[in-house]
Structure 1
Amino acid sequence: MNGAVLVAVGAVVGAPLRFLTDRAVQARYGSDFPWGTLAVNALGSLVLGLVTGAVASGAASGQLQLLVGTGFCGALTTYSTFSYETLRLLETGARGWAAANVAVSLVVGMAAVYAGAGLAGLLF
């Protein structure tokens, strides 16, 4: 299948899942901190680590990488929203929350991608 089609199909699933997950998490925790964005970025990092590890080990194809890694994870995760929400926190005077958002997002994202790659190593 064409690579662009695989990316588009993955994005068709990832984008609505991002929206629904973000809304559900924010509704549950309802604070000024962007928990929903953190959740989708962590989930996307975990999945990307898993898929990339599977492809690197030869257990999955490059087409799966396009479908899930580029399409699904690319639409599920959101750097632009992370940036905007951090800016919004700064503009409202919530400097501590803004700094926490940057630090926690970086640490959680790196831990999630590392965990996904590690899991792929165990499975494949």
Structure 2
Amino acid sequence: MKQLLLVFFGGGIGSILRYLVSKSLNNHFQHFFLGTFLVNIIGCLLIGLVLGLSLKTNYLSPNQTLLLATGFCGGFTTFSTFAFEKHSLLTSGELVHFSIYLIASIVVGIAAVSFGLWLSKML
């Protein structure tokens, strides 16, 4: 039960922060959803850092890892919104913006996870 509450609490905080960031940033560019992009990239960085620290001599407890990686990062990042936004760009004929957003999200996301893992080794 404690583990479920940790995921619930972390996910709730992550979801609220995702909402606030997306609401404040998604309207700044017509064909690029900056808020969604940033929460997904920051989430990638954080999950790399959290899991890296978790693996590094048990720096984080299993419960802390569950709260932060599964709960917070799971609630903060959003694949469904990412997919919906890609669909809306495709159906509106914005193929260049679709391609840039898709490739940037994947490449920068993987780079952010890698950087988070690297950063955890430096701490």
Q: TM-score, length-normalised on structure 1?
A: 0.94
Residues 10 and 71 in structure 2, CA contact (< 8 A), matched pair in contact too: yes
Percent identical across equivalent pairs? 38
**2:77 maps to amino acid:** T
Give the whole-Å Cα distance in 2 for the aligned partners of 1:120 and 1:25: 29
CA distance in 2, matches of 1:32, 1:114: 27
In structure 1, what is the Cα distance between the partners aligned to 2:3 and 2:72?
A: 13
The structural deviation recorded for 1:32 is 1.9
Following TM superposition, the consecutive aligned residue runs of length 4 or more in structure 1 with deviations greater than 3 angstroms are none
State whether residues 32 and 101 of structure 2, in contact with CA within 8 Å, keep that contact through their aligned partners in structure 1: yes
3-state DSSP class of the match of 1:102? helix
Per the alignment, residue 63 of structure 1 pairs with 63
Which residue in 2 is equivalent to 1:36? 35
Deviation, 1:40, is: 0.3
Measure the CA separation in 2 of the matches of 1:40 and 1:82.
10
Q: What is the match of residue 121 of structure 2? A: 121
Displacement of 1:59 in angstroms is: 0.8
What is the CA deviation profile of residues 55-106 of structure 1, one whole-angstrom value per residue up to 9, with x for unaligned ones? 0011111111110100000010000111010000000000111111110000
Q: 1:53 Cα shift?
A: 0.4
TM-score normalised by structure 2 residue count:
0.95
Size of the aligned set, in residue pairs, is 122
Quote the offset at 1:26 in angstroms: 2.1
Structure 2: gaps spanning 5 or more residues:
none
